[in-house]
Amino acid sequence: MSLVYQLLEPSDDKSAIAFALRSRQLLFPELYTAKIPKDIEHFAQYYMQSEQGCFIVVKDHDQIIGTVAYRAYDDRFDLDIPAKAVEVVKLFVLPEYRRQGIATKLCQMLFRHAQQRNILHLYLHTHPFLPAAEFFWQLQGFNTVHREQISTYDTIHMFKQLAFEHQ
C-alpha cells in the first residue's frame, strides 16, 4: 500500500466531489436524494479559494481513499463559537482502509494546516449513530460542548482550540 497525503490539487476536485457525495450516501442514505449541499455545489469557493477553507485527501495509487476538510463556520447552530472558527467536515475513510491510523494522520495534517493559517478554533458536529465518532474526536483533542436532539439526527457538538505555533 502506497498512501499519499496531500492538500487537494485543482486537478482532483471532481474526484474529491464524487468521493464526498459517495461518502455522504454511505453515511446518510436517506439524504442521498436530497438537494446537494451548498459546500459541494460551490466546492472551489468553500475549500480552495477561501482563506478559511482546506481539503485534504489521502490516495492509494492515485485513487482517493480518505478525506478531511474545514470551512468557515457558518453559525447554523445556536452555539457560542468564536468568530473566525472553522468547521471540520468530510472526514471519511473507505471501510477497507479503516483501523490503520489514516483518519488520525488526516486530522494531524488538517490541524497543522489550520495553525499555519492562524486558525485557532475548530468546531465540528457528529452523531451518536456513527460508531466511535465521539471517542475518535475526543482522542483528537475535541471536547463535547453540547448535545441536542433535532428533527433529523441527535447531534453532538464539539470544539477544539489550537495553540499558537512558535516561530
Q: Where are the domains of the chain?
A: 3-161
Read off the pLDDT of residues 46-78 as tens digits, 9 standing for 90 and up: 999 999 999 999 999 989 999 999 999 998 888
Residue 91's closest CA among 120, 111, 77? 111
DSSP category for residue 130: S
Q: Which CATH number applies to 3-161?
A: 3.40.630.30
- C-alpha 71: how far from its chain's center? 8
Q: Residue 29 is which amino acid?
A: P
Read off the pLDDT of residues 6-20 as tens digits, 9 standing for 90 and up: 999 999 989 998 888
**How many helical (H) and strand (E) elements, i.e. helices and strands, does the chain have?**
5, 7
Cα separation, 99 vs 67, whole angstroms: 15
- Take residue 57 and report the three cell numbers written for it: 485527501
pLDDT at 71: 96
- C-alpha 3: how far from its chain's center? 19
This prediction's pTM: 0.90
- Mean pLDDT over residues 36-45, rounded? 89
Band of residue 22 on the pLDDT scale cut at 50, 70, 90: confident
Burial class of residue 4 (count of CB atoms within 10 Å of its CB; 0-12, 13-18, 19+) = exposed
Beta strands in the chain (DSSP E): 3-7, 54-60, 63-72, 86-93, 121-126, 143-149, 154-161
